[in-house]
Each structure stands twice: as structure tokens, then as C-alpha cells.
Amino acid sequence: MRREDTLEEAVFRAGVRGWLEDNAALRSDEPVGPLDHSPEAEADAWEKMKDWQRKKFDAGWAAITWPTEYGGRGGTTIESMIFNEEQSRFDVPIGFIAASLGMIGPALMRFGTEGQKKYLKTMLRGDEVWCQLFSEPEAGSDLAAVRTSGRVEGDELVINGQKVWTTSAQFADKGFIVLRTNPDVPKHMGISFALIDMKQPGIEVRPLVTMRGDRHFNEVFLNDVRTPLDHVVNGIDQGWPVTTFVLMNEGAFIGTTIQTRTTATSLIEDAKRTGRIEESLVRQRLGETYARERVLGLLQERLKAALLDGRMPDVDGSVLKILTAEWGHERALTATWLQRADGLLAGGDAPMHGLWQDQVLSRGAMTVGGGTLEVHRNGLGERALGLPREPRFDRDLPFKELKTGG
């Protein structure tokens, strides 16, 4: 399990804590105010997220492990973990900027040209925020089936098609997009990965309203959108390795997300306050919820400990993703069950301003975003259990001859 900090790490931790104490408020376990999913509140939250990112950048905390030449701190993985641990105790707006940085940043460092790497500093400072234009109406789990086309015209790529479920596209300045640039070769081989400007003519962003009432993601229509050829990462038709690298980083981020106000411990405290802790059935369900949360926490510690020692983790990231999604949903259901009839209410009428109800309704985000649970289970079957790979009949045929390619 997790070892104690070394002397250097303890000094680093104290520095992080001191800076956070000077610049942010400690997270409170008190019930939060009303949830506001209006477009105005979302835009306001977005600006706060950018401000916090800029503040961290200016103080040298925006990306602990990134090289200093790209605006990072040039630090170690353990320092990055320490920073995240400390930051999670404070009430700070991290949100989608962290997710998008975690996806495109490492991909540009690994596959980008020097010109493309120039974007790293501006994205790290929060000056330009990026969205992920991967999924399409006919390409999600099977991402290599993308049909949005990229046509080379002079020294530009001309893009036409539609993307969907694009998180925060309505606020994004730039996007990284997966395109079909060659339909005459098997599907994984005719894909390019490009960087585009989201604020150009030809891009139409239509927010989709979720059952929680927020505009988390969007449909994005691309009509003769242009990007210079030098914005294609890893070369024309060579985008698949970049795409899979981004997906790997996305999965790792999602599996380790923590929601601190909606924990089993806060449920137990509630049950104590209301006296329901004396009921045997309540104790049993709370016991289950608490045990699951502990198991998840210990699995995360095991994963971290392996990374610290430079070992291959013996916990598969998909296990964390599946358990976080399924047990998180169970915990939210238990919370509304504990509220008795009040559990049927929503918004300001519900206990804690409907925070748990909001969690119940966000189930899809955890079970589908970053790869569906079924797809993660398939991966586990192959990687962890050594089961035979799923049969694939479309690997060698040109894309245009596939049913999805028509």
C-alpha cells in the first residue's frame, strides 16, 4: 500500500498546501447551494475554471510533470499526485479543462511537431480550451468507423461531416478531430488526427440538453471547415495511433475522478443526524456502500503505489472505471432511498438541494462517457482473463466497402 512521504515529498506537500491555503478555500462538507444548470451559470462556471487554471499557471502549478519549456514544472509523477491530493481538499473549479489537457497535452508532446507544440503553453494557461471531436452518430465504441471527411486542397485540409456528444464544444476555442482521409484502405489506416479552430465559419455547435437539465455536450456540424496541413498530427492517414493514445489517457482520468460531497461517509453522517442509523436495514445498506467505497479507494491506492514504484499496475484501469460508475450509481440510489418520500423530490425542494438526485440522473455520464461499461468489460476479458479476442470481419477490407462506410 501507499508509503509515507519522503522528506523531499513532505517539503513539496507543505509548499503545495501553503499556496492552496493562500489562494483557495477549503472544501466544506456543508450542503451546497442550489444546483444551477442554466446557460448563464454554465458560462460563469467556465470563466471561473479558466481563472483558476491561469492562477495555477502563473504560480507554476498548472502541470507538474510537463517539461518547463511547455509551461510545466518539470516535476515527478509523485509530485503530481501530491498536488492533486492536496487540491482535492479545496473548493476549486477544475472540471473539463483538466480532462481536455490530460488528453491532448500528452498526445502533442508525444506525436506533435515543434509548431504544434506551441499550443501547449496557451492551453495550459487556460487561454485556449480544447474539445474532443471523436464520436459521430455512426461511430462511438467503434471509433474507427468515423465518416467525417478530410480532403487535402493545396496546403489545407477541408473538413465536412458531423460529430456528436462533444463535451463543452460551445465554449471551446480549438478542437482535436478524428477524420476519414482515405476510404480506399482498411478503416484504421485511412484516419487522420487534426487540430482545428472552433471559432471559424462552417462550424455550427448545437448544445444537447441532458436529463439533468445541463448542456454538457453538443452536436457539431462541420461544413467546409479548413485547417492548415501542418495542423495534422503524425501525418495524413497516420492518425490512429494518436487517437488510441488519447483514449488511453482519457480512460485513466475518468477512473480516478472523485466526488467528495457525495461519499458514503457523508451518507452515514446524514443517517446519524436523522436517527435512521438505528434501523438494521439502513445499517446494512450503509455498510455495503461504505465497504464498496473503501475497496475502490484501496484499488486506487494500489494503482498509485505501482506508479510510484515504477511498476506496471496490477489493477486494470477498466476495473476502476466500471466500479466507479456502478457503485457510484448504487450510492446515489441508496441516498435517495434514505431520504424516504423526500427522495422523490428534485431541485430546491429536495434535501441538499437535490445533489443526490442529480447524481442519480448523471448515471449515463459515468457508464457511457470514456467508453461504455460493455466495451471496458470486453477489454478486461481479453487483457485480464486472456479470453479470445472478439471476431473482427472488417479489418482488412477497404473502408468504403464496409456497411458503415457506405
Ligand X SMILES: Cc1cc2nc3c(=O)[nH]c(=O)nc-3n(C[C@H](O)[C@H](O)[C@H](O)COP(=O)(O)OP(=O)(O)OC[C@H]3O[C@@H](n4cnc5c(N)ncnc54)[C@H](O)[C@@H]3O)c2cc1C
Residues that bind ligand X in the complex, under the rule CB under 6 A? 132-135, 140-141, 165-167, 216-217, 364-365, 368-369, 371-372, 374-375, 378, 390
Q: Of the candidates 160, 157, 192, which has an alpha carbon nearest to the alpha carbon of residue 178?
A: 192
> Which residue, 111 or 176, is less far from ligand X as judged by CB?
176
CB 296 within 8 A of CB 288: no
CB 276 within 8 A of CB 282: yes
Catalytically annotated residue among 79, 86, 136, 250: 250
Q: Of the candidates 80, 75, 83, which has an alpha carbon nearest to the alpha carbon of residue 23?
A: 83
CB of 162 to ligand X, least distance (A): 11
The yes-or-no answer on residue 42 being catalytic is no
CB of 178 to ligand X, least distance (A): 8
Give residue number: closest CB to ligand X.
140
Identify the H or E element spanning 298: helix 280-308
Q: Determine the Cα–Cα distance for residues 15 and 59; give it in Å rounded to an integer.
A: 12
Cα four-point dihedral sign 235, 238, 240, 245:
negative
Q: Determine the Cα–Cα distance for residues 250 and 264; give it in Å rounded to an integer.
A: 26
Residue for cell digits 482535436?
176
CB of 237 to ligand X, least distance (A): 20
Q: Please tell me the chain's helix, strand, coil percentages from 3-state DSSP, rounded to the nearest 5.
A: 50, 15, 35
Q: Determine the Cα–Cα distance for residues 77 and 64; give it in Å rounded to an integer.
A: 8
> Which residue, 339 or 362, is less far from ligand X as judged by CB?
362
Residue 269: all three cell numbers together: 453522517
> Which residue, 346 or 361, is less far from ligand X as judged by CB?
361
> Which residue, 81 or 222, is less far from ligand X as judged by CB?
222
CB of 406 to ligand X, least distance (A): 17
Residue 30: all three cell numbers together: 456543508
Q: Determine the Cα–Cα distance for residues 26 and 321; give it in Å rounded to an integer.
A: 27
Cα four-point dihedral sign 77, 178, 366, 383:
negative
Amino acid occupying residue 298: L
CB of 253 to ligand X, least distance (A): 12
Neighbours of 63 (CB within 10 A): 26
CB of 153 to ligand X, least distance (A): 25
> Which residue, 103 or 232, is less far from ligand X as judged by CB?
103
> Which residue, 133 or 296, is less far from ligand X as judged by CB?
133
Residue positions annotated with a catalytic role:
250
